[in-house]
Chain A
Amino acid sequence: MTVSQNGVFHQTYSSDQQLRPTSWQRYRIVLVFILIIVFPLLVGNRELRIANTVIIAAIGAIGLNILVGYTGQISLGQGAFLAVGAYSTGLLMHQGLPWWLAILVAAVITALFGIVFGIPSLRLKGLYLAVATLAAQQIVGWIVRAWDPIDGKTDGLARELAIPNTNVVLGNRLNTSEITFYVVAMIVLIVVTMLATNLFRTHIGRAFIAIRDQDIAAEVMGVDVFRFKLLSFATSSFIVGLAGGLIAVHSTIISFERFTIEVSIEYLAMIIIGGLGSVAGSIYGAAFIKILPEILREIGTIMTEQGWLDAAEFDLILPYIREAAFGLAIILTLIIEPEGIVKVWRDVKSYFRLWPFSY
Chain B
Amino acid sequence: MHTVSMSRFDRPYLDDPPERLQLDVENVSLSFGGVRAISDVSYSCYPGEILAIIGPNGAGKTSMLNCICGLYRPQRGRIMYGRHNLVTTPPHHLPKIGIARTFQNIELFSHMTVLDNLMLGRHVHMRKNILQSVLYWGRAEQEEIRHRQFVEHVIDLLEIQAIRKKQVGALAYGLQKRVELGRALAMNPGLILLDEPMAGMNIEEKEDMARFILDINEEWGITVILIEHDMSVVMDISDRVVVLDFGLKIAEGTPDEVRQNPEVIQAYLGEEEPA
CA distance A87 to B42 in the complex (A): 61
Contact A17 B134 (CB under 8 A): no
Contact B120 A207 (CB under 8 A): yes
Contact A209 B149 (CB under 8 A): no
- Contact partners of B144 in chain A: CB under 8 A: 17, 201-203
- A204 near B: Cβ within 8 Å? yes
Tally of A interface residues using CB under 8 Å = 34
Interface flags, B129-142, vs A, CB<8A=1, else 0: 01001111000110
- B108 near A: Cβ within 8 Å? yes
Contact A203 B109 (CB under 8 A): no
24 residue pairs of the A-B complex, CB under 8 angstroms, read A4-B165, A14-B141, A17-B145, A195-B134, A198-B134, A198-B135, A202-B128, A203-B119, A203-B133, A204-B128, A204-B130, A204-B133, A205-B133, A206-B116, A212-B111, A213-B108, A213-B110, A218-B109, A220-B94, A220-B95, A221-B121, A222-B187, A225-B92, A235-B130
Q: Which 4 A-B pairs have the closest CB atoms?
A: A222-B95, A222-B124, A198-B136, A195-B134
- B177 near A: Cβ within 8 Å? no
CA distance A224 to B119 in the complex (A): 16
Contact A216 B107 (CB under 8 A): yes
- A210 near B: Cβ within 8 Å? yes
Interface residues of A in 117-156 (CB under 8 A from B): none
- B246 near A: Cβ within 8 Å? no
Interface size range on B against A: 35 or more
Cβ distance A163 to chain B, nearest Cβ, rounded Å: 29
- A299 near B: Cβ within 8 Å? no
CA distance A212 to B111 in the complex (A): 10
- B112 near A: Cβ within 8 Å? yes
Known: A203-B120, A207-B123. 19 other contacts (CB 8 A): A13-B145, A14-B141, A14-B145, A17-B141, A198-B136, A199-B130, A202-B140, A209-B109, A210-B109, A210-B120, A212-B111, A213-B110, A214-B109, A217-B103, A220-B92, A221-B92, A221-B183, A223-B120, A225-B92
Contact A222 B94 (CB under 8 A): yes
Interface flags, A178-215, vs B, CB<8A=1, else 0: 00000000000000000110110111111101101110
- A231 near B: Cβ within 8 Å? yes
- Contact partners of A220 in chain B: CB under 8 A: 69, 71, 91-92, 94-95, 100-101
Partner of A219, one of B92, B140, B148: B92
Cβ distance A5 to chain B, nearest Cβ, rounded Å: 10
- A277 near B: Cβ within 8 Å? yes
Residues of B within 8 A of A (CB): 69, 71, 91-96, 100-101, 103, 107-112, 116, 119-124, 126, 128, 130, 133-136, 140-141, 144-145, 148-149, 152, 165, 167, 183, 187
Cβ distance B135 to chain A, nearest Cβ, rounded Å: 7
Cβ distance B134 to chain A, nearest Cβ, rounded Å: 4
- Contact partners of A221 in chain B: CB under 8 A: 92, 95, 100, 120-121, 123-124, 183, 187
Known: A202-B133, A205-B133, A231-B130. A217 touches B109 (CB 8 A): yes
- Contact partners of B116 in chain A: CB under 8 A: 206, 209
- Contact partners of A198 in chain B: CB under 8 A: 133-136
Contact A13 B107 (CB under 8 A): no
CA distance A198 to B144 in the complex (A): 12
- Contact partners of A209 in chain B: CB under 8 A: 109, 111-112, 116
CA distance A75 to B94 in the complex (A): 31
Q: List the A residue with the shortest CB-CB distance to B148.
A: A13
- Contact partners of B187 in chain A: CB under 8 A: 221-222
Cβ distance B42 to chain A, nearest Cβ, rounded Å: 24
Contact B136 A202 (CB under 8 A): yes
CA distance A207 to B91 in the complex (A): 15
- Contact partners of B103 in chain A: CB under 8 A: 217
Cβ distance A107 to chain B, nearest Cβ, rounded Å: 13
Contact B110 A223 (CB under 8 A): no
- Contact partners of B101 in chain A: CB under 8 A: 220
Cβ distance A10 to chain B, nearest Cβ, rounded Å: 11
Interface residues of A in 220-263 (CB under 8 A from B): 220-225, 231, 235
